[in-house]
Structure 1
Amino acid sequence: MALPTLPRRLSILLRPLVLAFCFGVAAVSAPAVAQTQTPSSGLTAEQRKAVVALIRETLLQNPELIQEAMVELERRNTVAQAEAQRSAVTAEMARLIDPKTSAIVGNPQGDVTIVEFMDYNCGFCKRAVEDVRALTKDDPKLKVVIKDFPILGPDSVEASRVAVAAMSQLSGPKYFEFHNKLMATKGRINGARALEVAKESGADVERLKKDMDSAQTRAVIEDTVALGDRLGLTGTPAFILGEEVVFGAVGVPVLKQKIDSVRKCGKATCNG
């Protein structure tokens, strides 16, 4: 077997140091190097200068190491973000399923709970509503918690104010019917359209107009938006199953698999 060339051997030997250098863990700027030996590194200024020069030469000859470092950095960031979200979900579970700030559909006593943060003007939410409806139809033990998370402008906020106010008049299947019909609206959804759909669903419109402007309704929306921020939610729809956050309209098969996993091991993704 042929031996690797010297530059290649150097790149292999220096790979861990180069990656650390790229992350800024071992980065050293030549002008800032002290002129005396430093206890932390055990290297003289000249030795550290030589190491920096060697790392620079290695990077120039093997630029793919920079890409490798960036991929690893992205992986670490993704892992850290997921872990932070899991911790936040655990800490906020009581607020996530609070019936005072949420609409509960499906089976209120279900053995698995899926929480959805949604916006009435989110195109992917409109797609996902069909997935949620299919899941509740096929799974009588599924509890669904709908949380208004209006992040797409004033129209979304108005629609959510009507939807939150409607929770005191419509519940269970009636609320789900209203929610699904409103989501099926083509074009922008605002307060006026939400009031129309609520009236069609049997709600008292005059009472709704009063309730949608109440301090309580505004507090519910503000609380949910703040909750979403604490969970690191950057878009809709966002589903929470177990301790895991699932972003986007991922489809019935993916959500069903995670629901099955929660039943099996208590987590959306079982180990092994």
Structure 2
Amino acid sequence: MIKTLTAAAALAVGLSAPASAFDVSAMSDAEREAFRAEVRAYLLDNPEVIFEAVDVAEKRKAEAEAAGDDQLLTDNATQIFEDGYSWVGGNPDGDITVVEFMDYRCGYCRKAHDEVAELISSDGNIKFIVKEFPILGEASMISTRFALAVRLVAGDEAYKSAYDTLITMTSDMSEPVLRRLADTLGLDADAVLARMDDPEIERQISETRALAQNLKINGTPTFVMGTELVRGYVPLDTMEQIVAKERSEG
């Protein structure tokens, strides 16, 4: 914050004087000291200028970050939307695609889960893609391997059931727990557990990690909503606003 205020103060001074008005580097020590005193006095008399400059600086920063994200999405569009292995739900022919990078042990992913489901259900025209991105330790990795193994063994519907269940679980992901979960889902536990170290699962996890690195994603949840990269949790009403904005600009 101090750096932002310092930069903003400099910006305020720069915005308030013509570029050719003076050359600070050409000033004598006494002139520089007098100039600094004048700047300080001006800012003390007009503190609102600092906050105005902060707003300008933050807006410029946000615009630069958004432009950078736009380029990242363009450069990685095929891997984001058509990787050939990520689970696809919602309306596969929807006019807006929402992609979520998620971790089963992420509290905000759990918070977002029901809201994302509500968004997809109430809208009816959203294609939803899940990117398994386990970054929160061993339990996250085991959960992801289990979910992906379920899909290899039993298909997309079984995967969706596993996905919806795992996101609510807080217990250790021990073998007995996984066997009970497989049984609850009506699956062959031996077959699922045997596939958890399948090279295909390793490939999918590695490729998603590489994609996340390319997109400069280091936390979950992270969403791609149409053409917008949304870093972090956002509530349902904000998701709806983003989707509406994407449609209006599409």
TM-score bracket, normalised by the shorter chain, equals 0.7 to 0.9
Residue among 119, 142, 153 paired with 2:126: 142
Residue among 93, 97, 115 paired with 1:113: 97
1:78-117 to structure 2, matched below 5 A, reads: 78-117=62-101
**Counterpart contact for 1:120–1:183, Cα < 8 Å:** yes
Report the equivalent of 1:44. Answer: 26
- 2:162 corresponds to 1:190: no
The structural deviation recorded for 1:71 is 4.4
- 2:214 corresponds to 1:230: yes
CA distance in 1, matches of 2:136, 2:9: 43
1:123-202 to structure 2, matched below 5 A, reads: 123-185=107-169, 187-188=170-171, 190=173, 192=175, 193-194=177-178, 196-202=180-186
CA distance in 2, matches of 1:248, 1:129: 13
Ranked by relative contact order (alpha carbons within 8 Å, sequence separation 6 or more), the top structure is 2
CA deviations over 1:88-121 (Å, ceiling 9, x no partner): 1122121112354411112223222110111101
What is the TM-score normalised by the length of structure 1?
0.71
The structural deviation recorded for 1:223 is 2.1
The structural deviation recorded for 1:60 is 6.0
CA distance in 2, matches of 1:84, 1:195: 45
Report the equivalent of 1:250. Answer: 234
Q: Match of 2:11, SS?
A: helix
CA deviations over 1:115-170 (Å, ceiling 9, x no partner): 01111011221122112222333343321101111122221111112222222234
**Counterpart contact for 2:8–2:53, Cα < 8 Å:** no
- 2:2 corresponds to 1:19: no
Residue among 168, 192, 197 paired with 1:213: 197
What is the TM-score normalised by the length of structure 2?
0.76
The structural deviation recorded for 1:62 is 5.4
Q: Match of 1:235, SS?
A: coil
CA deviations over 1:214-267 (Å, ceiling 9, x no partner): 33322321222232232233422222111212244433333233333333322x
CA distance in 1, matches of 2:93, 2:77: 16
**Counterpart contact for 1:107–1:143, Cα < 8 Å:** yes
Write 1 or 2 for the structure with the bigger share of helix: 2
CA distance in 1, matches of 2:81, 2:173: 26
**Counterpart contact for 2:150–2:158, Cα < 8 Å:** no
Q: Please tell me the root mean square deviation across aligned C-alpha atoms, in Å.
A: 3.3
CA distance in 2, matches of 1:230, 1:195: 36
**Counterpart contact for 2:24–2:32, Cα < 8 Å:** no
CA deviations over 1:166-219 (Å, ceiling 9, x no partner): 22234443322221122122x245364455434432443333333321333223
CA distance in 1, matches of 2:70, 2:8: 32
Structure 1 stretches of 5 or more lacking a match?
Answer: 1-15, 24-39, 267-272
Q: 1:109 to 1:70 in 2, by over 3 A?
A: same
Q: 1:43 to 1:17 in 2, by over 3 A?
A: farther
**Counterpart contact for 2:12–2:50, Cα < 8 Å:** no
- 2:67 corresponds to 1:76: no
Q: 1:113 to 1:217 in 2, by over 3 A?
A: same
